[in-house]
Structure 1
Amino acid sequence: MFAAVAALIIRTFFFEAYRIPTPSMEKTLLTGDFLIVSKINYGPRTPMVLGVPFTNIHLPGVVLPWTRLPGFEEVERNDIVVFNYPIDLAPIAAKTNYIKRAVGMPGDSLMIDDTDLYVNGEKAEPFPGIQQTYTVKVRDRVRLSPAKVKAAGAQLYRQQGNNGYRVNMTKQVAQKMSQWPEVKNVEPFVLPDDFNEFRQSTFSFSSGFTNHHHLPSLQVPSAGDTVTLTPENYHIYENIITRYERNDVERNGEQFIINGEETNTYTIQQDYYFMMGDNRDNSEDSRFWGFVPQSHIVGKAGMIYFSWDSERWLPRFGRLLDVIHD
């Protein structure tokens, strides 16, 4: 009994194990990595729901008053953060855990132009593990070897015509591939800015944009900010106002009725973050569903304690006990 109680206290207030289920953070984190997530860095949250310990089973309709205990640091730009998936319908602590890189802090101005991320007007240089899709053109009458591409640490998606390929890889691998004798050139694959990838999006945030390679300049909401609401920008703030900060909203032409009062402004109640996966063309993140509330932050990715390669059916011994660097 003592061991179970001690384990529950550690899991609630100090550290929690997390497994990487998808390739959305490759090559920084790999599918099958098992992490220790620190809750003490940003401060642990007191229990939010009544549930069965060590399971996702909770008592429906019961939400406990909670607070975040002091941590020893704030979320910083480019931290790798575990958080509750904001648009889940469950209570906060019962929502699915996601892991992404925090690229936008409260108050930051963000823009994505031709896949390039700009923060406060400056281009954010990609980390070594960040991947994206490239178009690779080869010389006449030669083919790109899938085995050679895989050995280089890249993923061949598809062939385009006789001489073109789409390959997912890091910038460093792309630079090396451009020197291969069979390769003519390597360029980032960029969707046209008028290609409407989000036309049928079920996410209110992205429904007002075109695709994840282009995002107009917007500010990450910060507690105390007062925003002016318009029919054109409401999709940016809808989840914040209704889902995360629990207000009732009705629309009346150009006006908004919030909690029974007609207004066209709203004051943000908590800080928000913009999260992106390092596998930029294979990550559903803030570009799709919007900002992450501070209340949903679980902890900071700390260390890989185990890693399993499901393709080779072997542990990745070289990743054991690796400290996760931002």
Structure 2
Amino acid sequence: MANQLTKEERQKRRNRRKHNQNEKAKSWLREWADALLFAAVAALIIRTFFFEAYRIPTPSMEKTLMTGDFLIVSKMNYGPRTPMVLGIPFTNIYLPGLVLPWTRIPGFEDIERNDIVVFNYPIDITPIAAKTNYIKRAVGMPGDTLSIDDKQLFVNGNQAQPFPGIQQIYNVQVRDRVRLSAAKVEAAGGTLYQSQNGSSGTYRIEMSKQVAETVQGWPEVTNVSPFVLPDGFNEYDRRGFSFSSGFNNHHHLPSTVVPSKGQTVRLTPENYHVYENIIARYEGNSVQRNGEQFVINGEQTNEYTIQQDYYFMMGDNRDNSEDSRFWGFVPQSHVVGKAGMIYFSWDSERWLPRFNRLLNFIHD
């Protein structure tokens, strides 16, 4: 009998040990699950209200920001937005048809001219927060008067401030029977394209003003001048938006005023295309045309008061950037944050990190 009891006790001990091990395993799993849940919630809060990572996918901001740069974008500077849609965190999946009431929490600064800003691409047909993120330089503030003439940007009548990273395409003429070295151009900081027409001795090079001045001093080069589209080259016919029927990205309708909150504009059949997205899409009004008259929310009127501030954005790679010149103004509601720091940079051509760009703060 004693031996039988001993066996039962041993079995009970084994069962207790197994139970304790299971409890420890469950406790360990709960701790990890709690830790992962806490980390996910903390990351979601940080991403929503404080900082977000962003990758530069295109060359539209070169050489200020390079394709393959990974940025930290601060949402605190201009003020974070409360959630706008209901979806799966850290994905682009959201519940269609449901837009949450939202507001912008005050930041500690306003957008200033020439800030590098991340924003939602305005003309995407999705809720604001689900739109593609773009990054450009805010060259026009609410109320500014802008013009572009022969590729030169003017703000309130003055030529815009230049920046070392801004680049454009130049025509470069070389001496007879001389070929320009692509490797030499690349070493100087430019990108060489093919000659304009065979052996004409004229090349097109994408480069900054500083590089253009260097190239101008080369003995084989006779002249360097900005490449400018002719006045007759019209991009209006192949785009859904334009500031004027004679617009291209090198010439601009003179005296274009960036809309500001509280500004009242007079609508005409000639200028309505400039304000159509603002009135109907970004500010949610119902608009109908009745000859030269406009009917806004059932009321016949030829005036409209702007409900929020807008910005004019341009890429620093002026000849290789889809920006406000082509799709119009950026509403304040679409502003995501301010570009803060490059935390990593990857050169896909050389398949190497750009070590000289790591942990660099972005200066406007």
Asked if 1:208 corresponds to 2:245, the answer is yes
1:218-254 Cα deviation digits (max 9, x unpaired): 1000000000011111111010011100111111211
Q: Which moved more, 1:307-316 or 1:246-255?
A: 246-255
Assess if the C-alpha contact under 8 Å between 1:41 and 1:71 holds in 2.
yes
Three-state SS of the structure 2 residue aligned to 1:308 is strand
The amino acid that maps onto 1:201 is: R
Assess if the C-alpha contact under 8 Å between 2:232 and 2:246 holds in 1.
no
Find the aligned partners of 2:59 and 2:171 in 1 and give their Cα distance.
Answer: 20
Which residue in 1 is equivalent to 2:9? none
Asked if 1:189 corresponds to 2:227, the answer is yes
Assess if the C-alpha contact under 8 Å between 2:172 and 2:225 holds in 1.
yes
1:39-83 Cα deviation digits (max 9, x unpaired): 000000000000100111100000000000010000000000000
Equivalent residue in structure 2 for 1:126, among 162, 173, 193: 162
Equivalences for 1:153-232 in 2 at 5 Å? Answer: 153-161=189-197, 162-202=200-240, 204-206=241-243, 208-215=245-252, 216-232=254-270
TM-score, normalised to structure 2, is 0.88
Find the aligned partners of 1:205 and 1:165 in 2 and give their Cα distance.
Answer: 30
1:245-298 Cα deviation digits (max 9, x unpaired): 011111121111111111111100000000000000000000000000000000
CA RMSD of aligned residues (A): 0.9
Assess if the C-alpha contact under 8 Å between 2:234 and 2:245 holds in 1.
no
Find the aligned partners of 1:143 and 1:253 in 2 and give their Cα distance.
Answer: 59
Three-state SS of the structure 1 residue aligned to 2:255 is strand
Which residue in 1 is equivalent to 2:281? 243
Instruction: Return structure 1 stretches of 4+ with deviation > 4 angstroms.
Output: none
Which residue in 2 is equivalent to 1:267? 305
Asked if 1:290 corresponds to 2:328, the answer is yes
| 1:155 Cα deviation from its structure 2 partner | 0.8
Q: Which moved more, 1:287-296 or 1:157-166?
A: 157-166
The amino acid that maps onto 2:127 is: P
Which residue in 2 is equivalent to 1:37? 73
Asked if 1:24 corresponds to 2:57, the answer is no
Assess if the C-alpha contact under 8 Å between 1:133 and 1:168 holds in 2.
yes
Find the aligned partners of 2:270 and 2:194 in 1 and give their Cα distance.
Answer: 37
Three-state SS of the structure 2 residue aligned to 1:90 is coil
Find the aligned partners of 1:181 and 1:125 in 2 and give their Cα distance.
Answer: 30
Structure 2, unmatched stretches of 5+, are 1-36
Q: May I ask how many residue pairs the two structures share in their alignment?
A: 325
Structure with higher Rg: it is 2
Asked if 1:74 corresponds to 2:110, the answer is yes
Equivalences for 1:312-323 in 2 at 5 Å? Answer: 312-323=350-361
Three-state SS of the structure 1 residue aligned to 2:169 is strand
Which residue in 2 is equivalent to 1:152? 188
Assess if the C-alpha contact under 8 Å between 1:223 and 1:271 holds in 2.
yes
Find the aligned partners of 1:267 and 1:209 in 2 and give their Cα distance.
Answer: 27
Structure 1, unmatched stretches of 5+, are none
The amino acid that maps onto 1:283 is: S
Three-state SS of the structure 1 residue aligned to 2:107 is coil
The amino acid that maps onto 1:246 is: G
TM-score, normalised to structure 1, is 0.98
Assess if the C-alpha contact under 8 Å between 2:236 and 2:242 holds in 1.
no
- Work out the percentage of aligned pairs sharing the same amino acid: 78
The amino acid that maps onto 1:58 is: Y
The amino acid that maps onto 1:145 is: S
Find the aligned partners of 2:214 and 2:189 in 1 and give their Cα distance.
Answer: 11
Which residue in 1 is equivalent to 2:98? 62
Three-state SS of the structure 2 residue aligned to 1:208 is coil
The amino acid that maps onto 2:315 is: G
